[in-house]
Amino acid sequence: MVNRQLQSAKGFLGLLSRETGVSGDEFAIASFVTENFKTVTDEIHTDTLGNIYALKKGNKQLSKIMLAAHMDEIGLIVKKIDDRGFLRFTSVGGIDPKTLLSQEVVVHGRRKIPGIIGSVPPHLIQTADANTVIKMENMAIDVGMPPEMVHEVIQVGDMVTVKREACELLNNIFVGKSLDDRAGVVAMKICLEELSCLQHSHDVIAVATTQEEVGIRGALTSTYNIKPDLAIAIDVTHACTPDTKAQVNNDLGKGPAVAIGPNIHPAIYKHLSETAHLQRLPIQIEPIPGASGTDARAIQVTRAGTPTGLISIPLRYMHTSVETLNMLDVLNTGKLLAYFVASLPDDLEGLLCY
């Protein structure tokens, strides 16, 4: 059973990673998510900001439980086409310029155009500049076409994404672009599949949110729209690598990180932790002393406030084209969400009083 679920999750995440959806331009990924969520929900619709709402009705339909994972990705946007046909660009979302040089990209113009972000060969670098990081404004995309042809298919404002095929390493380690937060979308689908085999009193609305990478906007509007009684955001968090040293304490393969701190309702944290213990699901505890920087922040303070939790999938090399995670953590995130929802009492007000 676990192997079958893992293979299904890997396949879905690989397809999601391949799809494009830079913040504000999520049309392609939204269409793909909608088609895949139709099979596990009772109703599905979208709103004017592009958020996708997938409803799974509860047995008693007493309250509304919101799950939220963002489907947008960081990317680039064309800001100038120079006289030689090279594309000048800037970032949409948080991109480290050091990760861009020598990347293959796709320019989403009138049709998809392949390109590269070239770098100066080491033979031509002046000694004084050898250790200097090249700024994004000094980079350009080469699409291999003369200026007049470039203007026929590309214009200022076109989005650009890094071209990267997802791949699998050993021991269920999965690598690809935009796993932040397409992995959270996969976890929501796993949760909805699990709920098909469980009794749950409350309606569950799984929201694939937009524009998280540029200001958690989709979570803000979708929470205002739903007005949930309880919500959990699903995102990624930093996992340990040799260079993170003491800054990061989460490891791949040891389960999702359950957040605790002022962004999190203490009763939700407690119930998530107890559910994980009862179901023998591994978790890690992540103290967050302020705003989490995830959809959970917007959800918590929308309208008069929403009791909010946060589950994060450990991820290495965040906001690069080789984001890396353990698929078992994704699977266990989905299972924890499902068992959490199924174990909620009919009286949520009593649970959330503290």
CA 336 to chain centre: 18
Q: Is 137 a catalytic residue?
A: no
Q: Which spans in 160-250 are helix H?
A: 179-195, 217-226
- Which residue from 257, 250, 265, 316 is spatially nearest to 283, judged by alpha carbons? 257
Token digits of residue 143: 């699409």
64-70 and 203-209 as β-strands: parallel, antiparallel, unpaired?
A: parallel
Sheet holding 323-326, edge to edge: 167-168, 173-176, 323-326
Burial of 253 (0-12, 13-18, 19+ CB in 10 A): middle
Single-letter code of the amino acid located at 226: I
Catalytic one of 212, 213, 286, 323: 212
**Phi and psi at residue 283, in whole multiples of 5°?**
-140, 160
Which one-letter amino acid corresponds to residue 317?
Y
The set of catalytic residues is 212
